[in-house]
A = this chain, B = another copy of it.
Amino acid sequence: MTSTPPPSNLDPAVAARLKRSADGLVPAIAQQYDTGEVLMLGWMDDEALHRTLTTGRCTYWSRSRQEYWVKGDTSGHFQHVKSVALDCDADTLLVKVDQVGAACHTGDRTCFDAGELTVSTAGA
């Protein structure tokens, strides 16, 4: 974990609390605010969190493209931000959103719809 915040417009009081991964990111869980569906997990750096808190649209850092990514900018499937909470360890974000259309790039409502694994417990 690194505790050195990168340059950003994030409120310094929030930046001081964040515990980032070695690459300066924090996982952000996106949840549909009314149904409770867990939609996806993305990653935010300080600036992405700042934009999420101040623009009303969920903004991630794309690790594959190495750029900011306003969810919906290309697909129209925006995530309108309802609330953001930091967890007890200050290393994970929970973002409650109103998801337009599908959250998943496959067209599924959530990124977890197609990935069920087999749970096999003998009398547990």
A binding-site residues for B, Cβ under 8 Å: 11, 14, 21-22, 27, 29, 31, 35-38, 40-41, 53-57, 80-90, 92, 94, 104-106, 108, 111-121, 124
> Quick one: copies of this chain in the complex?
2
Cβ 8 A contact of A41, one of B81, B92, B115, B120: B92
- A89–B111 contact, CB under 8 A? yes
- A35–B36 contact, CB under 8 A? yes
Tell me, in angstroms, the Cα distance from A57 to B54 when the chains sit together: 39
Q: Hey, which chain B residues are within 8 Å of A11, CB to CB?
A: 118
- A83–B116 contact, CB under 8 A? yes
Q: Hey, which chain B residues are within 8 Å of A118, CB to CB?
A: 11, 53
With both beta carbons as reference points, the residue of chain B lying nearest to A84 in the complex is identified as B117
With both beta carbons as reference points, the residue of chain B lying nearest to A116 in the complex is identified as B85
Q: Hey, which chain B residues are within 8 Å of A21, CB to CB?
A: 21
